Structure 1
Amino acid sequence: MAPNRRVFVKQVAALAGAFSLHSLFNQTHAAEWQQAAKRLQNLSPEQVARDEDFWSVIQRAYTVNPNIINLNNGGVSPAPLVVQQAVERYNQLSNEGPSYFMWRVLDQGREPLREKLALLAGTSPEEIAINRNATEALNTIIFGLDLKAGDEVVGTLQDYPNMIQAWRQRAQREGIVYKQLNFDFPIESDEQIVREFEKAITPRTKILHVTHIINWVGQIMPVQKICRMAHDRGVEVIVDGAHSFGLLDFKIPDLECDYFGTSLHKFLSAPIGSGMMWIKKEKIAKIWPLLCNSQPTSQDIRKFETLGTRSFPIEQGIGEAINFHNAIGPKRKEERVRYLKNYWAEKAAKISGVKLHTSLKAKYSCGICGVSVNGQTPQEVESILFNKFKIHTSPTVWENISCVRVTPHVYTSLTDLDKLVNALAYIASSKNTDSK
């Protein structure tokens, strides 16, 4: 084995790579980022959010295709180059001898990774399970709960479809009662939202399912207030944090929920196909694993990681994404993405015929914003944006929501957002509504 290979293997085995002084992030970015941040020491996160020189340094760390403007980061965010390189290195190592390097070397990195995720989430490592996405995390909880016929679960029509279908499947198969509230977003009143959940609770209600940031339009839900209300009535709360973790600056215990699931390949910019589940310690034992485990009623969070052969390279690449995220600063990142959303949305709102479907107040939204153009379907708007302007967005027609979802990220430039605003103005013009 070549000397550099031996050194790499030794580092991986001892420190899981990303958490050592020899991490790819430290080797690639640390010096430059520290220099760029020196000017910002006395600035607030809101002020840093508007410092284009600082964010240009961050933007250079990504490898996004210059031929399209990707504004669908609410679906999947690209990983920065350093995260891609970590996955590639771990993948190359694995393929030198899969059963040895995966199970005896890379597998030793899961506990340091668990600790790193727990530190980011503000929880105990014994409450964190590493998996592949929010759907897997939340389905594990949904199907793992001991519910019986007649027990009630309350969610909303605006929740993510995979979670809705999971609850409907339990209702069809086991006879639980699944009730869905219907909200007309944007809503700029916590009390209105909490009140609707409260009105839906009956003596048979066991679970509230709450989406922290609504996938379609970016509404931030008052999770902590909902949880406090629910707990006063003996009801547990599951939180879908797919679009909040790695974007909003919070710790999971701040929410006061009982269960939480998220994808890490969205705003955390971890490798595609990575996720995390959190369960309050005293509730782990009562949740059955979605996949088999020899001790399904144990209190060990690791019982939810019996996945068989998995992608160890993807898993270990999460560590470099955390390094990247922490180096930016969670609050700075939140404020930057919110600034980018408001930058284009405030301009678009002034265009005749353009309508926003998202609040611009910081309390109620961050990065995701829905937009529509009078006389055009979301599919038509999305098609013109891409075919004529090479702007990639996501058309949404779901229940009472009909709009195009726009989601910038830290690598998005103001120039790209100006192009979006100009494109929306073009589409809204009565004489330019074709898709030539």
Structure 2
Amino acid sequence: MQQRRQFLQKMGLLAGAFSANSLFEQAHAAEWEAAQKRVASIAPELTAADEDYWSVIQQGYTVNPNLINLNNGGVSPSPRIVQEAVERFNKLSNEGPSYYMWRILDQGREPLRYKLATLAGCSPEEIAINRNATEALNTVIFGLDLKAGDEVIGTKQDYPNMIQAWRQRALREGIVYTQINFDFPIENDEAIVAAFEKAITPQTKILHLTHIINWIGQILPVKKIAQMAHKRGIEVIVDGAHSFGLLDFAIPDLECDYFGTSLHKFLSAPIGSGMLWIKKEKIEKIWPLVCNDKPRGNDIRKFETLGTRSFPIEQGIGEALNFHNAIGAKRKEERIRYLKNYWAGKAREIPGVKIHTSFKPAYACAICGVSVEGMTPAQLDQALFNTYKIHTVGIVWENISCVRVTPHVYTKPSDLDKLVFALEEIARKKM
């Protein structure tokens, strides 16, 4: 009987995140159902300030109460059920790795692909699952057939790993990599589009766009830029590391050709999980970053021949999707934007404090830059942590100099009140 019971438990586990017996259903279904009913008819913008509702969501996380983590723009913690899923699948894998990993857990990738595609608003045949935005975007950057003299246009505010990838291609193959410079925040779509348009030359083949600038949270008008580029026969790559799982959008609606993201940021998936989207008709021409037996094939799975990887992490993504979908994409976006504006709106009234990010919904959501007159970003970051146990990150990059602050759905307004109090004390001492 004991063996039979263990067998049944194991079979239940293998059903995974896409069954009626998912960890999310077991842990949260009843309580969340009641909370959802209460706010179902309320606009997401209004639900954003409903602390009773969000207290239910906050209980799903296991964050350290002795540390206020406001660096979710780097990597976000996973909810408890996601952590438990990874732990369970890891234990299962180690009962017989080659059997449970390759014959059992590997079968979970297709339902996961379908679930990710549903959130992304695209076909499952356009989604590849990998480890992070760097891997996803490097697949496209190194997979494109470009020749010496072909030009790629990006910005000085793009993510360093993407910049270095393009520079490597320039050094090795002689492509031309051009970076334009922005002084953010900018609250004018036409000005941003015009800057890219002005940089285009007859040799331009690719525009590389960062959907949300990771340093200070500026949102670019990707769709408008892509429409302009396509009229000139130019393809568009989008770095969506900070937008997917935060903003409520469908990837095809951006009208880009390629999109890469990390899932361990605002989706709160296991650390070390990512996703690549390629428009179906473009798949065939992209070489995989890691070898495949059909490198010129049109199957998106050619980008997943990574060798042995963490199957437990992959399957943990499913529970993160359950958690995200139960909240609702638009409701989640509005809550995090509300939290960002909650603290930044108070902080900008403090003498000596400067906010480096827009307050308009079209141009910012979660990430926000702040500085105190007379302090370097490193000094402010250190003061916030040493005295107040508030974890942020100092940013010095090109023309950006500030501390980046990024709340998430588990962040409490009381934590942000402490941040504002800390900024007020720090700024007063510097005057």
Short-chain TM bin: over 0.9
Letter in 1 for 2:104: V
Aligned to 1:413: 412
Q: Give the deviation of 1:204 after TM superposition.
A: 0.7
Aligned to 2:424: 425
Q: Any idea what SS the aligned residue of 1:247 has?
A: coil
The answer to whether the aligner puts 1:264 opposite 2:263 as a matched pair is yes
Aligned to 1:379: 378
Letter in 1 for 2:44: P
Q: Give the deviation of 1:9 after TM superposition.
A: 3.5
Aligned to 1:227: 226
Task: State the distance in 2 between where 1:262 and 1:239 align.
Answer: 9
Q: Any idea what SS the aligned residue of 2:171 has?
A: helix
Structure 1 residues without counterparts, runs of 5 or longer: none
Deviation readout 1:110-144 (Å, 9 max, x if unpaired): 00000000001011000000000000000000000
Task: State the distance in 2 between where 1:47 and 1:84 align.
Answer: 31
Task: State the distance in 2 between where 1:5 and 1:414 align.
Answer: 44
Aligned to 1:109: 108
Letter in 2 for 1:351: I
Task: State the distance in 1 between where 2:36 and 2:104 align.
Answer: 35
Letter in 2 for 1:197: F
Q: Which runs of 4+ in 1 moved over 4 A?
A: none
Task: State the distance in 1 between where 2:4 and 2:88 align.
Answer: 15
Which range moves more in the overlay, 72-81 or 36-45?
A: 36-45
Q: Give the deviation of 1:41 after TM superposition.
A: 1.9
Task: State the distance in 1 between where 2:24 and 2:278 align.
Answer: 30
Confirm or deny: 8 A CA contact 2:369 2:403 kept in the other structure: yes
Aligned to 1:193: 192
Flag the 1:221–1:4 CA change in 2: closer, same or farther, 3 A: farther
Structure 2 residues without counterparts, runs of 5 or longer: none
Q: Give the deviation of 1:5 after TM superposition.
A: 3.4
Letter in 1 for 2:69: N
Which range moves more in the overlay, 135-144 or 36-45?
A: 36-45
Task: State the distance in 1 between where 2:293 and 2:36 align.
Answer: 49
Aligned to 2:85: 86
Task: State the distance in 1 between where 2:225 and 2:99 align.
Answer: 47
Q: Give the deviation of 1:247 after TM superposition.
A: 0.2
Aligned to 2:11: 10
Aligned to 2:31: 32
Confirm or deny: 8 A CA contact 1:12 1:105 kept in the other structure: no
Letter in 1 for 2:422: A
Aligned to 1:321: 320
Q: Give the deviation of 1:268 after TM superposition.
A: 0.1
Confirm or deny: 8 A CA contact 2:373 2:430 kept in the other structure: no
Task: State the distance in 2 between where 1:174 and 1:8 align.
Answer: 55
Task: State the distance in 2 between where 1:132 and 1:195 align.
Answer: 34
- After TM superposition, list the pairs within 5 Å mapping 1:198-209 onto structure 2: 198-209=197-208
Q: Give the deviation of 1:47 after TM superposition.
A: 0.7
Task: State the distance in 2 between where 1:233 and 1:157 align.
Answer: 23
Aligned to 1:175: 174
Task: State the distance in 1 between where 2:430 and 2:204 align.
Answer: 52
The two structures, once aligned, show a CA RMSD in angstroms of: 1.0
Deviation readout 1:134-163 (Å, 9 max, x if unpaired): 000000000000000000000000000000
Task: State the distance in 1 between where 2:65 and 2:3 align.
Answer: 37
Aligned to 1:165: 164
Confirm or deny: 8 A CA contact 2:153 2:204 kept in the other structure: yes
Letter in 1 for 2:3: A
Q: How many residues are matched? A: 430
Q: Give the deviation of 1:37 after TM superposition.
A: 1.6
Deviation readout 1:149-189 (Å, 9 max, x if unpaired): 00000000000000000000000000000000100000000
Q: Could you tell me the TM-score, scaled by structure 1's length?
A: 0.97
